[in-house]
Amino acid sequence: MRHFAVVGSGPAGFYTAEALEKAFGDKARIDILDRYPVPYGLIRFGVAPDHQSLKAVSKRYDKVAESAGVDFIGNVAVGRDVSVDELLGMYDAVILAVGSPHSRKLGIPGQDLPGVIGSAEFVGWYNGHPEFADLDPPLSGTHAAVVGNGNVALDVARILSKTRQEFEGSDIVGHALDALDHSAIRTVTILGRRGPHQIAMTPKELGELGHLEAASPVVDIADFPPLEADDALEPGQRKSITILREFAATPPEPAKPKRMVFDFFAKPVAIEGDGGAEKIVVERTELDESGAARGTGETYEVPASLVVTSIGYASAPIEGVPYDERGGKFLNENGKIGERLYAVGWARRGPSGTIGTNRPDGYEVAEQIAAAMPPGGAGDRPGAQALKRLLVSRGVMPTDYDDWRKIEETEAARARPGSPREKFVRHEEWLHTIGR
Ligand code: NAP
């Protein structure tokens, strides 16, 4: 029997477990480890709470978790409770599917002022991530800014602009819903260091901004190249730009009190304020020959007492695992980090791509593993039994599939009307629910 440890229970972890199960059948046991007693990583803590259709992919992962060869072992943090080397002693292969939980930093003066928050923290706050339950983002000012022109920037700007009613059917956590309901923010400026043609936003997500109850998008047509230039764009991007052009052609609705202002060619150079963020100093940019943003020397100020930076993520380094600082991921070659040690998902590729991108990625690594240790061959490592014994000897109590289900059922029972669940937002609440 082979024993595999998949570290991380987000999309990358589950697709890899699914692929390993297909490749090895009943000749392998696959343990999916997570530092929390509930799974799904990005699906639970990253995907926007008002995008329930995206979260529905977890039903596929449920099936993987229910299959005979797969176990869920929660409440164990690899790198803290058990090292990767120790795991390699107990498992035939270890696959790191730990995602990219850290926000990249802007690297400008004022980035650590109160009120400047990374997207990992802000998104975690409204999604019930236990590390950010006490974030308490400042929402009493009228102006906020989101830095970045990707889909996460869109998520953040949209969440800041929706009304309480618009969150119906979502699983936004109660503390965030109440805080946002009382928010004074009326203008969210979305700062892109390059132009409309260079956005990393997708059409469906962008289109949503045109249908918000209380907010209108504001786009300046002067930022666009001539219409003919759109012909050269790849079809998806052309669709996005067409939506932006429509926004530019539509005056903001006077009845809607909130504005989402797209500020292109705008590179933050400093964040200033007395004891907290008050404004961003922005340098006007233009594109250089390579398409990168080049400062023009002209600066201006954008008021913002809340600044959410949505400029990408990085994996958390794990002791003993070679790490690529620039790429924010583990050093690997096609997913292979070292002998019997692999990475998948964002931990392998860096923080880009949709949930579905992780599927081929996980299957590819599972194929490599199957080629390196053909199914049917005997493994001589003990797997979960030894891991659990070690954890208990260290005072760490691993949780299991039944614990996860109990927490989910309790969260569902606590839900406000119309919401699928009211998530617990603290680790202790999870443990208390399962009698720990
Ligand atoms: P992203 O798509 O890589 O976008 C990052 C943005 O930050 C880019 O616009 C980038 O501009 C900008 N940026 C980077 N460094 C900057 C700096 N120093 N100053 C100013 N701007 C800077 O990343 P993301 O939004 O975090 O999304 C991560 C992945 O998840 C993406 O693949 C995304 O599509 C996916 N996602 C999908 C959904 C969905 O499908 N609904 C939702 C959320 C996320 P440059 O282009 O100039 O570098």
pLDDT in tens, the chain (436 residues): 999 999 999 999 999 999 999 999 999 999 999 999 999 999 999 999 999 999 999 999 999 999 999 999 999 999 999 999 999 999 999 999 999 999 999 999 999 999 999 999 999 999 999 999 999 999 999 999 999 999 999 999 999 999 999 999 999 999 999 999 999 999 999 999 999 999 999 999 999 999 999 999 999 999 999 999 999 999 999 999 999 999 999 999 999 999 999 999 999 999 999 999 999 999 999 999 999 999 999 999 999 999 999 999 999 999 999 999 999 999 999 999 999 999 999 999 999 999 999 999 999 999 999 999 877 777 779 999 999 999 999 999 999 999 999 999 999 999 999 999 999 999 999 999 999 8
Pocket test for ligand 1, best of 52, 149, 191, 281 (most atoms within 8 A of CB): 149
102, containing H or E segment: strand 102-103
Phi (first) and psi of residue 194, to 5 degrees: -120, -160
pLDDT, position 263: 98
52 lines ligand 1 (CB under 6 A): no
DSSP codes, 197-247: GG-B--HHHHHGGGG-SSEEEE--GGGSPPGGGGGGS-HHHHHHHHHHHHH
Q: How far is the CA of 201 from the centre of ligand 1 (A)?
A: 8
Distance CA 263, CA 302 (A): 10
311 lines ligand 1 (CB under 6 A): yes
200 lines ligand 1 (CB under 6 A): yes
Helix, coil or strand: residue 119: helix
Q: How far is the CA of 352 from the centre of ligand 1 (A)?
A: 8
50 lines ligand 1 (CB under 6 A): no
Q: Which residue's CA is the closest to the ligand 1 atom numbered 36?
A: 151
Distances (CA, A) of 275 to 113, 272, 290: 7, 9, 39
pLDDT, position 419: 96
Pocket test for ligand 1, best of 52, 103, 127, 152 (most atoms within 8 A of CB): 152
Residue 311 Cα: closest atom of ligand 1: 7
- pTM of the predicted structure, to 2 decimals: 0.97
Spatial contact of 99 and 10, defined as CB atoms under 8 Å apart: yes
Residue 205 Cα: closest atom of ligand 1: 41
pLDDT, position 376: 72
Spatial contact of 310 and 96, defined as CB atoms under 8 Å apart: no
pLDDT, position 380: 78
Q: How far is the CA of 154 from the centre of ligand 1 (A)?
A: 9
